[in-house]
A and B are shown apart, each in its own frame.
Chain A
Amino acid sequence: MQHKQTEQRFANDLNIVSLISVGKHPQSGRERRAEQDGRAVELGMSLNAENLTVLHAGDPQQNALRSYAGMGLNSIRVLEMDPAADAIAPLSSYLKQHSPDIVLAGVRAESGESSGMVPYQLAEQLGWPLVSRIADIISVEGGVAEILQALPRGQRRALKVRLPFVASVDNAAQEARQSAFGPASRAALDLQSTQSTTDVIRDEWSEAPARKRPKRLKKVKATTAAERFKAATAKAQSDGGKVMKNEPAAEQAQAIFDLLLEEGVLR
């Protein structure tokens, strides 16, 4: 796929940080450029290649960082720490100190805990809004960004968010451009030492490959070919749910409780 050559769509004064992690190839388990983090860098480069900081907290020797650099980065900033340590503290202190306008990250890491909590925790620590699963940033004007959020089945939701904010980048965003060996070899790694705390809880865990979760069978009640096609291709849509906006909090909580009981989550 040809990537859009839309570099620098905005004024140069926009400060963007793209957070990158070490990815893991699903077939070989080999370290690589993470899919979503690559998209976060791509989005950052297309917004403002000049003032983009690509930031990693972990081991600067990690080869996968080079494959991000190969996208044409002059440097990657690395907060040097034990890759197993918790990255939240060093990242948030870095971001507090540099106060960028936009922080982009993948939805979840491809290795490690892969909890998807990093953008949320950073947003909480910084006190900034978090926009989850964005597909694109359309414009930034007067301190307000117009964002497209990715929804299932190719749907998009247009949002307006005041700067600064943290956003997680969905798979629907522009694919990361090709990584080239020359620039990858030449990029500078800009090291900063940090105080990181060992993740005591994680130390006690043992890792094993995930088992495939059983899928709930879909009941197909289709009578026409078109319906069967839709049933086969459509992602399960949350039908049967209801939107409760104006009800009292107790009623809303009861509804959630009832659903959890019904689904067998609570017994």
Chain B
Amino acid sequence: MSFEWLHPVLIATALVLAAVGAVRRVNLWRAGQADQINLIAGLMAMPGRYLHDLHDIVERDKYMSKTHAATGGGFVLSAVLIILVHMLGINSQILAWALMASLVLMFVGALFVFKRRLDPPSRISKGPWMRLPKSLLSFAGAFFVLTLPAAGVLPEGTGGVLLTLFLTALIIWGMGELFFGMTWGGPMKHAFAGALHLAFHRRQERFGGGRSTGLKPVDLSVAADQGSVLGVAKPTDFKWTQLLGFDACVQCGKCEAMCPAFAAGQPLNPKKLIQDMVVGLAGGSDAKFAGSAYPGKEIGNAKGGPNQIITEGLIDPETLWSCTTCRACVEECPMMIEHVDAVVDMRRYLTMEKGSTPNKGAEVLDNIIATDNPNGYAPASRTNWAADQNLNVLSDVKETEVLFWVSDGAFDMRSQRILRSFVKLLKAADVDFAVLGDEELDCGDVARRLGDDATFQSLAKRNLETMAKYKFKRIVTTDPHAYHCLRNEYNDLGFDGLKDVEVLHHTTYLNELVQQGKLKLDNLSAGTVTYHDPCYLGRYNGEYEAPRELLRSLGVEIAEMERSGFRSRCCGGGGGAPITDIPGERRIADMRMEDVNTTGAELVAVGCQQCTAMLEGVVEPRPEVKDIAEILAGQLIEEMH
């Protein structure tokens, strides 16, 4: 082949340009706020995280995981070998053969990418992503031919000027996409940003099978400083690790496919949200976005920049308020991007700086501030529901085995049925338990999801101070939202009152009692039964089994919905969504009830009063909705004395 000098120069040029782009991109991320991350440890752990944590999620789609392993693995190996063989000119047949093998691997992978893009599902982005498989094929193909002489298959100098020019054109295209495009914002950016995102993820606890779902507290000590901003107003108000995370998005749209608000036709698409964040951090408009729009909104009108207010031009606040914080997007994201953190960060600005929580938001927050419950009931009436229950109150007994956290369900007549059932079961199992009575306050969940972290922190601190006065070993609650706050969010506030306390959901605790034989239960014959996983119990806390075991202990064979377990669809009741009530085409609860109906169930078992309220709000005829505690209490064999 002619022009011996050409290809090394081209490769070196592409690499230098890629390095320049990398520096430029890194500077975009560094415009964010400081974050405590161990850079070296992160980088060291990165390959392992790619192979395990990330790959485990991709593995849910076998076709894609094999395709990606071949393409990505083949490319990384090829890139290293190309530098050795073609740029540095190391003359080794072994290296050349290894390079050819890895290029074949990459080529085969790319063929499968190509095949999937022939008839792509609506969730994945088109546009530049449609050319990616062709770029991969030309990169792998051209370098393969180029390596033949080095491997000794073809004599040196085979082919004329035309072939060389043709191969050179393919190589420029391939390297343009794969080296240059990786740092200058093409589809391959996901590899560069994604690798670093895995290294410097804001929630390092998530790796190695861990769970990290509690929202990070706002630093309120700066609230009174002139010029300070609570929450995220501009892209640069995010932590730099969050900006990096947004940039890692591969636009696979798995989040979009799972998002209940998107399916309901509310103006939210988690994928578009993340891409809008990328528009924000890099500056520009969303005109080039080649995926699904926010339902009801057109693409091309959003403009933003690193120092521009996000909700003034880039994102409509309605988009942020549509989120139910169900975490289905986060659970599904192969890049482990934290959508919910971003949504709540921006809500915090809207609530704590702009005072623009929509619909009933302001009223509910005012009520919580004035009465410690969202509906403005008299605080002294909190324990009225238990007037006939003869419960121990901690202010009297001071010490107990189990603190029963009643939650705001105390004020709601439907939820009170759940509370009574649970009390009946506790009494039947002879558990030493007590309640806080009127000393209990709202746990702060709603205030926090609505962006009012000041009110959340105030409630949490007062609750912690109350609990610090008493002795107990465990907290059990029937409300997964309170469960999440107590278990995962109260610990960030500088109190260690709950350090040695085990926080449990009532299904976990009841399951324990049943396993220990402390509850005698009759079998249930209620026809077909299905179980709805509450988001804050399942995805937020990983409890999928206890409620199912309880149902099985009643002799029930659960007819599982297609979307159950970690893929459970939200009931629409989380994140303050019923309060902000952003209009859509359908109601999320109706869609969930359709899921239930496809199983033919006559009874939906639920483990959350909010889910109960949402699902019972669906017009009849529909299956009966009951909390697990209610079902169990109904089957209790009471011993006669």
Contacts and interface: CB of A to CB of B under 8 A. Distances in A.
B223 A182 contact: yes
Contacts of B495: none
Given A28-B370, A32-B370, A185 B354 contact: no
A178 B226 contact: no
Interface centre among A27, A67, A70, A179, by most chain B C-beta atoms within 10 angstroms, is A27
A186 interface: yes
B110 interface: no
Per DSSP, are chain A's interface residues mostly helix, strand or loop, or mixed?
loop
Contacts of A230: none
Contacts of B353: 180, 182-183
A181 B352 contact: yes
B355 interface: yes
Interface stretch (B255-263, B373-381, B425-433): B373-381
Contacts of A103: none
Given A178-B357, A178-B362, A180-B355, A186 B226 contact: yes
Contacts of B228: 182, 186
Contact of A186 (B225, B356, B376): B225
Nearest to A25: B370
B452 interface: yes
Nearest to A67: B369
A72 B352 CA distance: 11
Nearest to B225: A186
B454 interface: yes
B376 A181 contact: no
B226 A181 contact: no
Interface in B215-232: 220, 223-226, 228-230
Contacts of B454: 181
B564 interface: no
Interface string A1-31: 0100000000000000000000001011010
A162 interface: no
Interface in B444-496: 452, 454-455
A177 B378 contact: no
Interface in B358-382: 358, 361-362, 365-366, 369-372, 376-379
Nearest to A30: B370
B230 A181 contact: yes
Nearest to A72: B355
Contacts of A180: 351-355
A109 interface: no
A185 B224 contact: yes
A71 interface: yes
A183 B355 contact: yes
Contacts of A185: 223-224
A225 B376 CA distance: 34
Contacts of A25: 370-371, 376
A30 B352 CA distance: 21
A185 B362 CA distance: 18
B226 A179 contact: no
Given A27-B376, A27-B378, A182-B230, A71 B355 contact: yes
Given A182-B230, A182-B352, A28 B371 contact: yes
B549 to A, nearest CB: 42
Contacts of B229: 182
A186 B229 CA distance: 10
Interface string A61-86: 00000010011100000000000000
B82 to A, nearest CB: 53
Nearest to A2: B358
B377 to A, nearest CB: 6
A181 B378 contact: no
Contacts of A177: 355, 362
B350 to A, nearest CB: 9
Nearest to B357: A178
B354 A30 contact: no
Interface in A146-182: 177-182
Interface centre among A28, A32, A179, A181, by most chain B C-beta atoms within 10 angstroms, is A181
A168 B19 CA distance: 68
A182 B348 CA distance: 10
Contacts of B357: 178
Contact of B355 (A30, A179, A186): A179
A222 B454 CA distance: 53
A2 B220 CA distance: 27
Contacts of A183: 353, 355
A209 to B, nearest CB: 12
Contact of A181 (B223, B356, B366, B371): B223
Given A28-B378, A186-B223, A178 B370 contact: no
A217 B455 CA distance: 43
Contacts of B225: 186
Contacts of A72: 355
Given A71-B355, A180-B353, A186-B224, A30 B362 contact: no
A230 B23 CA distance: 74
A116 B122 CA distance: 64
A181 B452 contact: yes
A203 B268 CA distance: 59
B346 to A, nearest CB: 14
Nearest to A31: B370
B371 A178 contact: no
Contacts of B369: 32, 67
B354 A27 contact: no
A27 B371 contact: yes
Contact of A27 (B362, B379, B452): B379
Interface centre among A25, A32, A180, by most chain B C-beta atoms within 10 angstroms, is A180
A182 B379 CA distance: 27
Contacts of A71: 355
A33 to B, nearest CB: 8
A71 B355 CA distance: 7
Contacts of B355: 70-72, 177-180, 183
Interface centre among B223, B225, B361, by most chain A C-beta atoms within 10 angstroms, is B223
Contacts of A178: 351, 355-357, 361-362, 365
A114 B262 CA distance: 51
Interface in B299-357: 351-357
Contacts of A70: 355
Contacts of B352: 180-182
A183 B355 CA distance: 9
A117 to B, nearest CB: 26
A98 B230 CA distance: 36
Contacts of B372: 28
A183 B227 CA distance: 10
B351 to A, nearest CB: 7
B179 to A, nearest CB: 45
Contacts of B378: 27-28
Contacts of B455: 181
A46 B228 CA distance: 26
Interface string A180-211: 11110110000000000000000000000000
A185 B453 CA distance: 14
A41 to B, nearest CB: 13
A179 B454 CA distance: 12
A186 B228 CA distance: 9
B226 A27 contact: no
B361 to A, nearest CB: 8
Contacts of B371: 25, 27-28, 30
19 contacts: A27-B376, A27-B377, A28-B378, A32-B366, A32-B369, A67-B369, A72-B355, A177-B355, A177-B362, A178-B351, A178-B361, A180-B353, A180-B355, A181-B220, A181-B223, A181-B454, A182-B223, A186-B223, A186-B224
Which 10 pairs between the two chains have the least Cβ-Cβ distance?
A180-B355, A178-B355, A178-B362, A185-B223, A27-B378, A181-B454, A25-B370, A185-B224, A182-B353, A181-B352
Given A180-B353, A186-B228, 19 more contacts: A2-B358, A25-B370, A25-B371, A28-B371, A28-B379, A30-B370, A32-B366, A32-B370, A67-B369, A71-B355, A178-B356, A180-B351, A180-B352, A180-B355, A181-B352, A181-B454, A181-B455, A182-B229, A186-B224
